[in-house]
């Protein structure tokens, strides 16, 4: 099964994913750069702090009147101390420490330069010929927290910016493809018989050659169909007079001759001419059905038309028809002549191919469903599919042109409805059923 894809949906989805991914990659890249720069700033702060505190610490230690050992620097008020320091000699003897310093964080002996432990980043600096050292330590967790907060500060605005950008992407795509959507709707709204050029202004440049080619193809197709219909109609029309003349002369010949053999042959020729005359009538009906005149400008009541047609066939085949009509009128934009042709062909088809001993049921509901049902043998599914094609009959032994259902199909298609064929008929074990919805309003009309 082939899944249909929408250009607008495809562009919107991939652009949305692309924009979102670029935003996230931008945040990640910014976080990496920010982490590198912040580490440089923090290392510089460690170094600067050590160089500022070391002279003061040395002065304090040298000015002591006697060696009092380790002293802890007093804090003016309680606060979180992110930078802690120790002042020691080369052997590791402690002389001074900040109020929150933990000697266990530092190594056993002081070291110069930068170093790291699993929990802290440390910078050491020496003084007085490297006899005294200061080491300043900063928790690595503090740095990670700072990087995380910075990354969140970059990421949080995306919660607002990403939806806005997505809405913007979809709006731009929808606006850019608006003319393409109008083109799609214009083509979808057309009926099968509308071959006029498709006109949509300001199409994107990529679609212009497509529309030019489509309109050229439609024009060629329209001309071909018009030529075919014109030939069919003209041929059938031109045959009428010669056929009528030939029938009249043949009938006169039959009355004037006493030769039985001549009368028999004349009768056979007369039947052939009548068959040819009926075929010409059907070809005229087919040309009219395919000519796109299935709809009228005003609504018409179809009930009296069907009643008149049924009465006409009742006189030809007494007792064969069973008609069921609604009490109210059935209004439709279907052209009265087109409806008459449609009904006549359905009834003729049922009378010709149905069982002669059983009636033909004709019903029209208030909703506009026209059903013609005849009894008879079941039509195989493979034949049922092709019955609406021209010159196709379910029974080759039965007289007929084989274009009756093709005429009905052409009228139904031109009116925007459909012909449904069933065998066996609904609610029966045999027979044949043809159903058409003949109620057509302005919403069913094609542009």
Q: Please report, in tens digits, the pLDDT of each residue of the chain (447 residues total).
A: 456 677 778 888 888 888 888 888 888 888 888 888 888 888 888 888 888 888 888 887 777 766 555 666 655 566 667 788 888 888 888 888 887 788 888 888 888 888 888 888 998 888 887 788 888 998 888 888 888 888 888 788 878 888 888 888 888 888 888 888 887 777 777 655 567 787 777 777 777 888 888 888 888 877 876 776 677 667 666 777 787 788 888 888 888 888 888 888 888 888 888 777 777 777 777 766 666 567 777 888 999 999 999 999 888 888 889 999 998 899 998 888 889 889 999 998 899 888 888 899 999 998 989 999 999 888 888 888 888 877 676 654 555 567 888 888 888 888 888 889 998 888 888 899 999 998 876 444 443
Question: Is residue 182 included in any domain, yes or no?
Answer: no
CB atoms within 10 A of CB 437: 20
Q: Is residue 167 part of a domain?
A: no
332/386 same-domain check: yes
CB 406 within 8 A of CB 388: yes
Asked whether 72 and 99 are in contact (CB, 8 A), the reply is yes
Same domain, yes or no: 328 and 435: yes
- Residue 176 resides in a domain: no
The answer to whether residues 301 and 273 belong to one domain is: no
The contacts found for 104-107 with CB under 8 angstroms, 24 or more apart, are 105/137, 106/135, 106/137
Domain boundaries, position 426: 294-444
CA-to-CA distance for 60 and 359, rounded, in angstroms? 127
Q: Examine the domain organization and report whether 109 and 202 are in the same domain.
A: no
Task: Tell whether 284 and 307 lie within a shared domain.
Answer: no
Q: How many structural domains does the chain have?
A: 3
Q: Annotate 197-213 with b (16+ C-beta within 10 A) or e (fewer).
A: eeebeebeeeeeeeeee
**Beta bridge pairs of residue 138:** 121
Give the whole-angstrom CA distance, residue 445 versus residue 190: 9
- 183 within domain boundaries: no
Extract the tokens encoding 211: 């529309």
Terminal CA-to-CA distance of the chain, rounded, Å?
31
Interaxial angle between packed helices 260-289 and 404-414, expressed in degrees from 0 to 180 and rounded to the nearest 10: 20
- Both 271 and 298 in one domain: the answer is no
Residue 185 lies in a domain: no
């Amino acid at each position: 099964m082939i899944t249909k894809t929408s250009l607008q949906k495809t562009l919107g989805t991939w652009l949305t994913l692309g924009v979102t991914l670029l935003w996230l990659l931008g945040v990640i890249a910014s976080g990496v750069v920010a982490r590198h720069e912040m580490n440089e700033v923090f290392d510089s702060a460690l170094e600067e702090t050590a160089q500022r505190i070391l002279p003061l610490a040395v002065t304090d230690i040298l000015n002591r009147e006697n060696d009092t050992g380790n002293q802890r620097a007093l804090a003016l008020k309680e606060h979180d101390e992110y930078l802690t320091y120790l002042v020691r000699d080369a052997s590791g003897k402690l002389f001074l420490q900040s109020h929150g310093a933990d000697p266990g964080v530092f190594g056993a002996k002081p070291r110069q330069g930068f170093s790291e432990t699993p929990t802290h980043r440390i910078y050491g600096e020496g003084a007085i010929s490297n006899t005294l050292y200061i080491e300043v330590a900063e928790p690595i967790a503090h740095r990670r927290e700072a990087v995380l907060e910075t990354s969140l500060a970059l990421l949080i605005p995306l919660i607002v910016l990403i939806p806005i950008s997505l809405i913007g992407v979809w709006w731009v795509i929808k606006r850019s493809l608006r003319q393409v959507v109008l083109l799609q709707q214009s083509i979808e709204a057309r009926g099968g018989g509308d071959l006029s050029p498709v006109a949509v202004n300001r199409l994107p440049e990529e679609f212009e050659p497509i529309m030019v080619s489509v309109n050229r193809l439609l024009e060629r197709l329209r001309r071909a169909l018009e030529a075919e219909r014109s030939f069919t109609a003209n041929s059938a029309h031109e045959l009428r007079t010669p056929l009528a003349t030939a029938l009249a002369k043949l009938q006169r010949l039959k009355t004037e001759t006493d030769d039985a053999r001549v009368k028999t042959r004349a009768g056979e020729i007369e039947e052939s001419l009548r068959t040819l005359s009926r075929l010409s009538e059907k070809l005229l009906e087919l040309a009219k059905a395919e000519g796109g005149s299935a709809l009228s400008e005003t609504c018409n009541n179809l009930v009296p038309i069907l009643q008149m047609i049924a009465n006409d066939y009742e006189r030809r085949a007494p007792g064969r028809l069973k008609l069921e009509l609604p009490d109210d009128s059935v209004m439709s934009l279907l052209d009265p002549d087109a409806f008459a042709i449609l009904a006549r062909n359905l009834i003729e088809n049922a009378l010709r191919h149905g069982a002669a001993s059983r009636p033909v049921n004709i019903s029209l509901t208030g909703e506009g469903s026209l059903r013609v049902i005849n009894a008879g043998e079941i039509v195989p599914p493979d034949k049922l599919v092709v019955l609406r094609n021209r010159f196709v009959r379910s029974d080759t032994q039965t007289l007929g042109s084989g274009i009756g259902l093709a005429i009905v199909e052409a009228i139904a298609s031109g009116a925007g409805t459909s012909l449904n064929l069933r065998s066996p008929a609904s609610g029966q074990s045999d027979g044949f059923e043809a159903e058409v919805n003949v109620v057509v309003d302005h919403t069913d009309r094609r542009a």
